[in-house]
Amino acid sequence: MALTAPRTPARTREREAHRASLPAGRAGRRHPLVATAMVLPLAALLLYAFGGFEAVLTQASSVGVMLGR
């Protein structure tokens, strides 16, 4: 994305303060597998709690019928 306006001094200071709060040597990013392992239990709980599995099956079935399978 193109930069359309220069950063203001206040935003630059905020960004530098945020970087200073991060642990040394870390860019503040997680490995994708760690992020996935954190999200999957919550996703499974929400899927079970709101009946998402049945909704997915119903949707897949109706798409299959619509496609003639």
Give 6-51 pLDDT, tens digit per residue: 666 666 677 776 666 656 655 678 899 998 899 999 888 888 888 8
- How many of the other CB atoms lie within 10 Å of CB of 68? 5
Q: How confident is the model at residue 5 (pLDDT cuts 50, 70, 90)?
A: low
Q: What is the pLDDT of residue 63?
A: 92
* Higher local confidence (pLDDT), 58 or 12: 58
Q: What is the pLDDT of residue 33?
A: 92
Mean of pLDDT values over 51-68? 86
Q: Exposed (0-12), middle (13-18) or buried (19+): which is 62, by Cβ within 10 Å?
A: exposed
Calpha distance 41→13 (Å, rounded): 37
